[in-house]
Every structure is written in structure tokens, then in C-alpha cells.
Amino acid sequence: MKRQFKNFALVVVVFLSFSMVSTAQVKLGHINSELLISQMPESTKINTELQALGKTFDDEFKSMYTEFESKGKKYEAEAGTKSDAINQSRAKEMQDMQARMQQYQQSAQQELQKKRFDLLQPILEKAQKAIDEVAKEKGLDYIFDASKGQLLFAKESLDILTAVKAKLGVK
């Protein structure tokens, strides 16, 4: 009998806990973080810097490709007058050049991604700090990022984009 009473008491306590939690009002907010980041002045500087770095990589690759193309045309035109050993050596040289160009492209893409990450990190931290401050000021319990498709439904959700932009001084 004591055991049944304990189980019953446990069920009542659990039920009351859930009912108290469900009656507490949860305040929700949402923001489009991608829109916020894109409108911050620092984003323009990042894009300019990344475009300049990308152009440097593109120019170098174009130079490599031009050299590859001209050697290929030359070797193809001379192939009939050269020995098999020379033609094989030239074919190997062309394969090596092509491999270097592919490696260069991969390295350039990785470096661009790393640079973008490094440049974005302080902006993301600044935006997150402003979001946290606005959420506290407005008494919000949860903020959903609408740009990532994470806001599926909210009966009442406060869009804090304008408040965060004001906190950051973004027009």
C-alpha cells in the first residue's frame, strides 16, 4: 500500500510540474541573422577584401593556364618531329602541370574559405552580443534564426532585427 501511495504521489508531482511549466509564458523572438550580417558595414569590407584575394588567385591561375595551353599547343605541333622518349617526357610534364593547377585551385579555395571565416568571426561575435543584449532587454526566453529555416511556428514571436540593428548602429 505504501508503494502504491509513493507511485501515486510521484505521478501527481510529475503532473503538477508539467502543468506549471506549461502555464509559464515563454517569450519568443526571431531574427534573420544573414540579413543582419549583410547589412553591417563590416560586411562590405570583408567582401572587398575577399574579392581582391580571389582576383589574385584567379590571375595566378590564368597565368598557369596560359602557360599550360601554350606548351600543349607547342608540344602537339612538334610531336611528329620528336622522339617517343621526348614526347613521353612532355606528356608527363603536361600531366604534372595539370596536377599543380588542380592543387593550386584547391589550395586557393581553402585559403579563401579560411580567410572568410577569420574575417567573419568578429562580426558574428559582435552580432551575437547585440542579439543577447536585446533578448535580455526585451525579456525573451528564446531567439530563433529565421534565415536558417529554424523558425517553424511561433504564436507570438517578436522580430528583433530592428532593435539589434539599432544596438549595432546599422541603418
pLDDT digits (tens, 9 = 90+) for 78-102: 999 999 999 999 999 999 999 999 9
Model-wide pTM > 0.85: no
**For residue 143, is pLDDT > 90?**
no
Instruction: Assess whether pLDDT exceeds 50 at residue 9.
Output: no
Identify residue 113 by its one-letter amino acid code: Q
Most confident of 25-29, 69-73, 134-138: 69-73
pLDDT tens-place string over residues 108-132: 999 999 999 999 999 999 999 999 9
Q: CB–CB of 82/90 below 8 Å?
A: yes
Q: Which cell goes with 2?
A: 505504501
Please give the Cα distance from 170 to 43 (Å, whole number). Answer: 11
Does 7 have pLDDT greater than 50? no
Alpha-carbon distance of 135 to 30, in angstroms, equals 10
**Is residue 20 predicted with pLDDT exceeding 50?**
no
